[in-house]
Chain A
């Protein structure tokens, strides 16, 4: 092997190792930020308006996109499900299909993905820009902790909004499915609701979906906060951090979903 190839291999290995170590460093630094955020939560929860303002920005302003997509997802589920179920002569089971798929999976997961795109990016860009314009350093100079004043309220705003949005997503999706299945296709309305109630279990399905959405809320909000806090204070740095927020949140949501589902199904 020529010395050129060896040095190429070595530099590739070096590059890989550098990236790996960098990822571990970021993970540790994110955990540290998470710890600080929890530690200074008490301070920011004592001023509830800070959190309420963040719920407004992350929750209320995400309502439109969440509700409209939920409505269409529910309608599509009903159309697709009816198409297949009707071949087996059990089109009344469409209510079960729509409700279970929304409450167990689609509600929490799609809400989290939309949440990462709609609210997560906003949080990252805002904090990244605050850092780039040295607002965070200015706060520190005034002996105001930026974590208690900026990070923790956004964290709690996201964590509170996410389960509410996911519940709304599931409910509106089921209503959309009902609209397609019952008035449009002509499935019996009584059978739609009664079969749904017979097979959707409160603890097994509704509560597990709720727990999932809480975990996704923590994951998405924390990733968005960390990416913003960690962003290089340049225009390019903020733009890259925003992209990473969407990519990492989506991967984290789908990965966590698999892990939690495998715990819950057993």
Chain B
């Protein structure tokens, strides 16, 4: 029986494929899985799959070499999500065959506008679900979301804070540094609820921390959920329905500082969003300063009101004293008037007198005794 080497057959396959596909490229839509990134080399190995009714009906190995890896990096930058398993992408591929490694695709380009659209669609669907399931408690108005959590009033002074963050993260350091070294010397109680806040199951870890805060029975003034440092792309936990719903209905005001300025996550929309850990801490310090400032202003107002009232009272007394002085008969006599008394009673009417009466006339410092000779 005549036989050929394996390589000979594989070269024939290679030739056939070359003649059929050559340098042609194709835009295809597929889900990605088995993603392995080599950041230092700027390569990414993955599988492209197509599913029908959750069953994989097509599968192909693929590689994004440095040319295609540029688009992987762009994907992460634009979407702020990791390029990872489960994503639907549209990419430009070239068929590649190697007699050693077999058939695969080279990924040359990724249509990131498609990815962004997909993510936005998913985000809008999650937001709509939150509103629809809230029994009218989450209200959307002009791109703003009003949630029961946002409607909670902050106490006049924030002192007890539950901090949800990752251990030894920049976010933890930045938040505490800004808060505890504030310019006004305000003291805070910060209880840390530490967990992993990146990665596929991060939202479950965060939810557990919220549950622990509730179970602690401590009357916290607010929850600060902060994240800083680490990956600039992994914000996926903050787009999760379950975490967003929990935050929207949480019984303590929640501040978010999850470290991204460009986009707003769904969790941000359900809480008080302040972008970065430092900004959350600064906001809390400012909140307390506002209270103190207001208190000082009120105290000042009271002091001024009292001072004004006392001044008026003093002026009033001065006026009354002046009036009393002018009404004092002693002072009247000093002006040259005289006071006449008959039988030690003041004579205020001439009818009280008759000829022969002995009267006393009081002139300034002097008493003159005289007899009335006639009353005309």
Is B one of A's binding partners?
Answer: no
Residues on A lying within 8 angstroms of B by beta carbon are none
